[in-house]
Homo-oligomer: A and B are copies of this chain.
Amino acid sequence: MCCTMSAPKILDLGSLKKACKTCGLHDLCIPLGISDEELNLLEQIISRRRPLQRKEHLYRPGDRLHALYAVRSGTVKTYTLTDDGQEQVTGFHLPGELLGLDAISDGAHPCAARALETTSICEIPFDRLQELSSRIPGLQHQLFRMMSREIQTDEHFMMLLGKKSSEARMASFLLGLSNRLGARGFSRNEFNLTMSRNDIANYLGLAVETVSRLFTRFQSAGLVRVERKLIMIDDFDGLLKVSGTHTVEDVVTARDTAS
C-alpha cells in the first residue's frame, strides 16, 4: 500500500511519541507479560499510522502481509468476499485487538479490513516482530496466546452460528460488545453501534430485517433501549437469559402478550 514514503524512522513525529508503556490498552494488547526492557525493544519496531478515516481500508484481500495491526481507538471491520462477490463480515475489532493474524499462513491477507469510524492504528512489521519473538520468550508466548485466544473465540462463535436462534445471537452480540467495551474503560450500559444494521446482520448470519425486528422486540421486552445507533442496556440478566439456552419465551411473549 504505502511503502515509498516511509523511512525506517517513523516514530519521530510528536503525535506518534506515545508508546505502549503509556497506552491504556497495554494490558489487553501485545505488551502483556513482558518486561520493561523488552517492551522498549518492542516499542522500537511499532509505529503509528495516520489515522484511518471512516470507510478507509487498512488492507484488502490479497495484500501481502506486511505488518500486524493493533487498534488503538475506533473500530475496524474485517470481511471477505464470497465467490459471487458478496461481502461476509468476519469481525468487528475494538481498541487493543490485533488484526491480521489470519494472513500469516499465506503471507497475504485473506480478508479486508476497513475503518467504521475514524480509527487510530499501531503497525507492527511482522518480520521484525517474529525476529523479536525469537529473542523474547515472553513475547513469543504472548503471541501464541493471542492467536490461541482468537481460535477459541472463533470456536465459540461457530457455536453461536450453528446452534443459536436469532434472538440468542443478537443478545450474545450485544453482551459481547458491552463486555469488550467495558474492559476498555467505556460504559457497559450505553454505547454506540459503529456498524450498520446490515453489518450486524451479515456478521450474525441473519437478514437485515431480522436484526431490525430483534431490536424492536428487545426494546418492547424492556431489555434495551435503542435510539438509532445508541444502545442502552437495561436488563443484563434478561439479555443473558435470552443469549443462553432459552430458545423462546421471555422476549417473544413479551411482545405477543402486548399485542
- Residues of A151-180 at the interface with B, using a CB-CB cut-off of 8 Å, are 151-152, 154-155, 157-159, 161-163
Total interface residues in chain A, CB < 8 Å: 47
Pick the contact of A158: B84, B103, B151, B158 (CB < 8 A).
B158
CB distance from A252 to the nearest CB of B (A): 19
Pick the contact of A163: B82, B148, B149, B152 (CB < 8 A).
B82
Bound complex: CA A152 to CA B148 (Å): 13
CB distance from A125 to the nearest CB of B (A): 14
Verify if A257 is at the interface (C-beta below 8 Å from B).
no
> Which residues of chain B come closer than 8 Å to A158, judged between CB atoms?
90, 154, 157-158, 161
A137 engages B130 (CB within 8 Å): yes
Binary CB contact string for chain A from 93 to 117 against chain B (1 if under 8 A, 0 otherwise): 0000000011111100011000000
> Which residues of chain B come closer than 8 Å to A141, judged between CB atoms?
130
Verify if A227 is at the interface (C-beta below 8 Å from B).
no
CB distance from A175 to the nearest CB of B (A): 13
> Which residues of chain B come closer than 8 Å to A220, judged between CB atoms?
none
A144 engages B104 (CB within 8 Å): yes
B146 engages A105 (CB within 8 Å): yes
A151 engages B147 (CB within 8 Å): yes
Pick the contact of A155: B111, B135, B244 (CB < 8 A).
B111
Bound complex: CA A111 to CA B105 (Å): 24
Contacts A105-B146, A144-B104, A144-B143 given; does A245 touch B83 at CB 8 Å: yes
Q: Which A residues contact B (CB, under 8 angstroms)?
A: 80, 82-84, 86, 88, 90, 101-106, 110-111, 130-131, 133-135, 137, 140-141, 143-152, 154-155, 157-159, 161-163, 202-205, 244-245
